[in-house]
Structure formats: C-alpha cells, structure tokens
Amino acid sequence: MRWRPVRQLISPSPVLGFVGVVGLLTALHDAGGLGQRGWVAGLASGAALGVALAYGLVRLGRRSLLPADRVTLTRAVLACGVTALVADSARSVTDLDVLVTLCAVALALDAVDGWVARRTGTASPMGARFDMETDAFLILVLSVQVARDLGWWVLGIGAARYVLLAVGAAGRRAPWLRGQVPARRWRKVVAAYQGIALTVATAHVLDERVVTTVVAAGLALLLVSFGTEVVALRRRPAVDVGASLREPAPLDATVAEAVQ
C-alpha cells in the first residue's frame, strides 16, 4: 500500500521518450551504420532526457505530459539523434544529409509546440522550461559540429547558457544569478536564430566567409541577450530573487543540482 502513491506518480512519458531515442538510433544505424561513439552519446543523452523529465513531472505531481510537451519531447528525441550523429563525426555525405534533416525537423517543430500550447490552453511553466532546455541542448550539440569547421570559438554559442547556470549554481557571491526573469520573445527569437544559423553552417550550402559572418552574428546576438538577462536579474528586488530561489522551476532544479 505504501507504494501506491509512488506508482500513481510514475509517468510513462520518460520511458516512451527513451524508447523513441533507441528507435531513432536503430534507424540511423540501419541507414548509415551508426558507430559506437554515436550509440554511446545517443543513449547517454536519451537517458539524461528521461531522468530530467521524470524528475520534473514528479516535482509537479503530474503523471502525463500536456499536448505541447509531447511535441517538445519529439524534438528532444530528435536532438538525441543529432547528438549521436555529431559524436559519430558525420562520417559520410549521407550522414550529413540525415543530420541536417533531423535539425530542420526539430527547428520546425519548435514553432509547433508553442502553437499547440496556445491552441489547447495548456501552456505551463514546465512546458516553457522543457522547450527552452531542448533548444539549449540542440544548440550546444550543433555548436560542437560547426566548431570543427569554423573554429572552437563557435562553442561559445552552445556553452553560454550552461556557463551562466554553473556560475549561478556554484557562485555564493552571486545568488541572484539563480533567479528567473520573465519570458521575452526577443530571447526566443535569438535562440531560434542560433539553431537556424548553425544548421545552415552544418549543411555546407554557403560560402565559408558568409557562414562565418552568419554564425558570428548569432554569437553577438546571444551575448547581448544574455547580457540583458544578467542585468535584469541583478536589478530584481531581493524579495523576488529570494522567492525564485525558494521555488525553483522543476527543470531548473535538475540542472542546478547536476552542475553542483
């Protein structure tokens, strides 16, 4: 009897997400022979996705995902496939084509989950957080891929958010960095630009100088976006910061604890 409440909170969604990752990796292997590094990276990212999602749902006392969250979960599964291909070094033209296709579909679905949330009236803080973390992870993985061609400075695009989280989680002198700022469409646009720019760079369809300019512009926009976010966090009243620290968003807590 004592386990009944726990069973009632267990959601099948994280398991289905991991199964989806395994299915995608199998399809990638059948299509182009996914190597060992690709399997390891794909399965590791899929497991991390399942654990973070399960933790967030338990924290909220929810057993199922909302409609828009299911779209985001699909994007997250695709991001795990992208991770596998990048880790496998995209060894052939076929792999590169598949990589770009997965990225394009994931980016297209980014516009769908928000529309579904508004259409069904099921927008939620966790859904927004899940969406943002999926964006951040996909951008991190793509920055690794593009850095191989343009230089390791591109990693600044993917690492910026995680550096900010690490400083906020570990820095006792700046606890205000662990607060949250209201969602702004500007930050969403900047994040979308990063994904598009890095996907275009991955596709090798433009001259290298043009691609370098496009990606460098993305990094500049990202620095401005994060700079304004830091300033906004610093200017928030102490009472607001304290409240956000006492009641972190579910996926915020997961990331913070992982960093610590």
Domain boundaries, the chain: 4-259
For residue 225, give the 3-state DSSP assignment: helix
Segment 25-60, tens digit of pLDDT: 999 999 888 989 999 999 999 999 999 999 989 888
The pLDDT, as a whole number, for residue 9 is 54
Sign of the torsion formed by the C-alpha atoms of 33, 39, 41 and 42: positive
Kindly report the CA angle at 250 between 248 and 256, in degrees rounded to 5?
Answer: 65
Higher pLDDT, 10 or 192: 192
Mean pLDDT in the chain? 83
DSSP state of 171: -
Band of residue 244 on the pLDDT scale cut at 50, 70, 90:
very low
DSSP state of 178: G
Q: What is the pTM of this model?
A: 0.83
Higher pLDDT, 93 or 115: 115
Q: How far apart are CA 213 and CA 197, in angstroms?
A: 10
In angstroms and rounded to an integer, the radius of gyration of the C-alpha atoms of the chain is 19
- Of 121-125, 168-172, 243-247, the one with minimum mean pLDDT is 243-247
Q: What is the mean pLDDT of residues 72-95?
A: 88
Segment 101-121, tens digit of pLDDT: 999 999 999 989 889 998 998
Segment 181-209, tens digit of pLDDT: 666 778 778 888 999 999 999 999 999 99
Does 77 score more than 90 pLDDT? yes
